[in-house]
Amino acid sequence: MRIFHQIPLQRPSTPLLDSASTPDALRALSRAQLGTLADELRAYLLYSVGQSGGHFGAGLGVVELTVALHYLLDTPHDRLLWDVGHQAYPHKILTGRREQMPSIRQSGGLAAFPARHESEYDTFGVGHSSTSISAGLGMALAAQQKGEPRRVVSVIGDGALTAGMAFEALAHGGTTRANMLVVLNDNDMSISQSVGGLSNYLAQLLSSKAYSRMRDDARKLLEIIPPAAELAKKTEEQVKSLISPASLFEAMGWNYIGPIDGHDMGQLLNAIDTLTNRPGPNFLHLVTQKGCGFQPAESNPIKYHAITKIDPKPAADSAPSKPTFSQVFGQWALDQAAADPRLLTITPAMREGSGLVAFSERYPKRYHDVAICEQHSVTLAAGFACEGLKPVLAIYSTFLQRGYDQLIHDVAIQDLDVTFAIDRAGLVGEDGPTHAGVYDTAFLRTIPGLLIATPSDETDARGLLNAAYQHPGPAAVRYPRGAGIGAAAGSSLDALAVGEAITRLSGRGVAVLAFGTLLHQATQLCQARGYSLIDMRWVKPMDEGAVRAAAASHDLLVTLEDHAQMGGAGSAVLEALASMNLNTPTLVLGLPDSYLEGGKADAMYASVGLDSAGISAAIDQRLAALSR
């Protein structure tokens, strides 16, 4: 295998890859050519992610696997599913999208993850983890019911396998006769280091005698396994007797083979050929390296989970960057933890993104990475709260969707003291619709007793985190990806008053009621036109006094939020007005009832009229309509 030390800035020469522009063309190559093809694919992947930015280490780790799967399967007739989909760049390159790769994650470009509308080779849309076994099983059982001969392969990482949903699917699949192969891509990494009992268990499988024997003896056998289907059964038994320890997966009804080296093309081809031609549920355990073939990513897979695009001429002295909301939260957690020994933090596998690296180092015993287990993270917090501790769950808005029942049933009904630090609220940009945090206000505000705060800047983020934390029941603070306006967050542990809005500008005619950081898109307009600007701060409890006063003294109310228009804070204002029997005209500005493809977040907001110009135009239009 060729090892790279730098990301090529020039398009590499890839003659074999050029000739394999579709899976059909790939399948015309000889087995002996596949190693070279993998090297070229890796070179192109490095180049194209350098041009576009995006998910990086995971794709590098499945280059050989991707080649082997498309070589052996009759894709797209046979179904190939990628869990999460952040490792699917090599798959996109091999399935006719190579020339578009530099556009991935950009407006009008390729989607960040497999997407059914993008290609017939993308059999299942993803972004969130741990869905591939369930969806693959559904496809395999459908093929059975329809009497269609079809192979189904789901590729899942060791991180994604930690989720309960993956185990629900394994438990079901093992009891069926579905013709399906699950490939476990075990690189001992999630975004951070893999954690938990499953990770320990997989490590045990690797260090078992059987694996050592495989490395010493069975490699030769695997290399000579005849691929023909009629010999599959026999060779499989031979392989199993040599390299398969009794495993949890076997106990669940899966025919487990492995672990084998996921970068060894010969072993991969033989094992996949054998197992995709064997009826019933099969499970292949691969050992791979995240970032494989790119030395800096091999040494630091956390840093290279995803990268920004390579700037060929980086600015000499760029201004110091503003802290992100995640960093503001991380600093707040450190400060609050120093003041209150009851505080602990929980993350479902998003330590880096949530700003908790320093906390995990400073307070290792009060820090809990529960792996990709959002449901568990919510109920775990409930358990801590029952014992008088003060759990703070840092969770992305989009991933909290997974823990909705737990939030209602385990936390809110029991009025437990859990603080939800909801990161990535609003549009997240390049990751696109699967990761948009634009539904949380709607699904949270229907839950009795749960407080919801929407800071407009860093200072308020801190003050509202303090308020949520000091509130003796469940409370959520939602804030967006990236940095805000750069307001000083300070070091105060003082709470902002619960349910109190603040008037930022007092004016006439129009009152903008803003929830969250989009407030700043309206500031200039309000100043220029003499409108009122009210920072609502809380969706729940809503400051009804402020709404009533604004309604009484303005001709038009405008609500503004980085959330779905339907069911969001604007809807809450409309409900408040109705309950107060007020009928002041109200314009609700939020995200439309559609899925927005990924791009730069600012441009995405602008495209739906949620930038200064769009807000101004919408207000003018409504004022004109009112004056008719």
Ligand X SMILES: Cc1ncc(C[n+]2csc(CCOP(=O)(O)OP(=O)(O)O)c2C)c(N)n1
Question: Which residues make up each annotated binding site for Mg(2+)?
Answer: 158, 187
Question: Nearer Cβ to ligand DXP, position 84 or 564?
Answer: 84
Structure-token match 């709260």, residue found: 385
Please pick, among 79, 105, 151, 290, the residue that the annotation labels catalytic: 290
User: Any contact of residue 402 with ligand X (CB under 6 A)?
Assistant: yes
Among 43, 60, 84, 450, binds ligand DXP (CB under 6 A): 84
DSSP 226: -
Cβ proximity of 132 and 82 under 8 Å: yes
How far apart are alpha carbons 267 and 68 in whole angstroms? 10
374: annotated active-site residue: yes
Binding-site residue positions: 86, 127-129, 158-160, 187, 294, 374
User: Any contact of residue 158 with Mg ion (CB under 5 A)?
Assistant: yes
357 phi-psi bin (left φ>0, alpha ψ -120 to 50, beta other):
alpha
Site track for ligand X across 231-260, x = CB under 6 A = ------------------------------
User: Any contact of residue 424 with ligand DXP (CB under 6 A)?
Assistant: yes
User: Any contact of residue 127 with Mg ion (CB under 5 A)?
Assistant: no
Q: How far is the CB of 113 from ligand X (least distance, A)?
A: 9
Q: Which distant-in-sequence residues (6+ apart) come within 8 Å of 383 by Cβ?
A: none
Q: How far is the CB of 462 from ligand DXP (least distance, A)?
A: 21
Site track for ligand DXP across 535-574, x = CB under 6 A = ----------------------------------------
Q: Which sign, positive or negative, has the C-alpha torsion 548, 553, 555, 558?
A: negative
Question: Nearer Cβ to ligand DXP, position 428 or 539?
Answer: 428
Among 84, 287, 436, 451, binds ligand X (CB under 6 A): 84
Q: How far is the CB of 156 from ligand DXP (least distance, A)?
A: 14
User: Any contact of residue 367 with ligand X (CB under 6 A)?
Assistant: no
Number of H helices, E strands in the chain: 28, 19
Q: Which distant-in-sequence residues (6+ apart) come within 8 Å of 120 by Cβ?
A: 76
Cβ proximity of 133 and 166 under 8 Å: yes
Site track for ligand X across 86-125, x = CB under 6 A = xx--------------------------------------
Please pick, among 105, 351, 402, 424, the residue that the annotation labels catalytic: 402
Question: Nearer Cβ to ligand DXP, position 199 or 398?
Answer: 398
Instruction: Using alpha carbons, select from 290, 303, 373 the residue that is nearest to residue 60.
Output: 290
List C-alpha distances in Å: 372 to 162, 390, 477: 6, 22, 21
Residue with nearest beta carbon to ligand DXP: 353
- Residue 378 CB: number of other CB atoms within 10 A? 28
Among 187, 274, 434, 571, binds Mg ion (CB under 5 A): 187
Q: Which sign, positive or negative, has the C-alpha torsion 80, 84, 87, 93?
A: positive
Binding partner of residue 349 among ligand X, ligand DXP, Mg ion, none, CB cut-off 5 to 8 Å per kind: ligand X
Which range, of 38-46, 153-161, 509-517, 601-609, touches Mg ion by CB under 5 A? Answer: 153-161
Question: Nearer Cβ to ligand DXP, position 426 or 570?
Answer: 426
User: Any contact of residue 86 with ligand DXP (CB under 6 A)?
Assistant: yes
Q: Token pair for residue 340?
A: 């209150």
Residues between 159 and 178 that touch Mg ion (CB under 5 A) = 159
Site track for ligand X across 162-191, x = CB under 6 A = -------------------------x-xxx
Which range, of 81-89, 101-109, 235-243, 479-487, touches ligand X by CB under 6 A? Answer: 81-89
User: Any contact of residue 135 with ligand X (CB under 6 A)?
Assistant: no
- Residue 417 CB: number of other CB atoms within 10 A? 23
Bridge partners, residue 306, by sequence: 55
Q: Which sign, positive or negative, has the C-alpha torsion 357, 358, 359, 361?
A: positive
365: annotated active-site residue: no
User: Any contact of residue 377 with ligand X (CB under 6 A)?
Assistant: no
User: Any contact of residue 111 with ligand DXP (CB under 6 A)?
Assistant: no
Q: How far apart are the first and last CA of the chain?
A: 72
Q: How far is the CB of 16 from ligand X (least distance, A)?
A: 25
Q: Which amino acid is residue 221, in one-letter code?
A: L
User: Any contact of residue 159 with ligand X (CB under 6 A)?
Assistant: yes
Instruction: Using alpha carbons, select from 615, 614, 602 the residue that is nearest to residue 427.
Output: 602
Binding partner of residue 424 among ligand X, Mg ion, ligand DXP, none, CB cut-off 5 to 8 Å per kind: ligand DXP
Residues between 55 and 74 that touch ligand X (CB under 6 A) = 58, 61
Residues between 508 and 537 that touch ligand DXP (CB under 6 A) = none
Q: How far is the CB of 202 from ligand DXP (least distance, A)?
A: 21
Question: Nearer Cβ to ligand DXP, position 437 or 474?
Answer: 437
Q: How far is the CB of 323 from ligand X (least distance, A)?
A: 22
List C-alpha distances in Å: 585 to 556, 558, 559, 627: 5, 9, 11, 12
Question: Nearer Cβ to ligand X, position 81 or 349?
Answer: 349
- Name the H helices within 426-492: 440-445, 458-470
Instruction: Using alpha carbons, select from 176, 136, 429 the residue that is nearest to residue 280.
Output: 176
Question: Nearer Cβ to ligand DXP, position 57 or 281?
Answer: 57
Binding partner of residue 428 among ligand DXP, ligand X, Mg ion, none, CB cut-off 5 to 8 Å per kind: ligand DXP
Please pick, among 236, 374, 430, 597, the residue that the annotation labels catalytic: 374
User: Any contact of residue 92 with ligand DXP (CB under 6 A)?
Assistant: no
How far apart are alpha carbons 406 and 449 in whole angstroms? 15
Torsion of CA 550, 552, 558, 559, to 10 degrees: 60
User: Any contact of residue 428 with ligand DXP (CB under 6 A)?
Assistant: yes
List C-alpha distances in Å: 217 to 49, 214, 242: 38, 5, 8
CB under 8 Å, gap of 24 or more: what pairs does 619-628 form?
619/510, 619/525, 619/556, 619/558, 619/587, 622/556, 622/558, 622/585, 622/587, 623/510, 623/555, 623/556, 626/555, 626/556, 626/585
Cβ proximity of 146 and 119 under 8 Å: no
Q: Which distant-in-sequence residues (6+ apart) come within 8 Å of 427 by Cβ?
A: 436, 437, 438, 480, 562, 591, 596, 601, 604, 605
Cβ proximity of 78 and 132 under 8 Å: no
How far apart are alpha carbons 581 and 572 in whole angstroms? 14
Question: Nearer Cβ to Mg ion, position 129 or 187?
Answer: 187
Which range, of 71-79, 405-413, 424-432, 517-525, touches ligand DXP by CB under 6 A? Answer: 424-432
Among 160, 337, 407, 512, binds ligand X (CB under 6 A): 160
User: Which residues would be at the binding site for ligand X (CB under 6 A)?
Assistant: 58, 61, 84, 86-87, 128-129, 157-160, 187, 189-191, 290, 349, 372, 374, 399, 402
User: Which residues would be at the binding site for ligand DXP (CB under 6 A)?
Assistant: 84, 86, 191, 306, 353, 424, 428, 431, 481
Q: Which residues belong to the active site?
A: 290, 374, 402
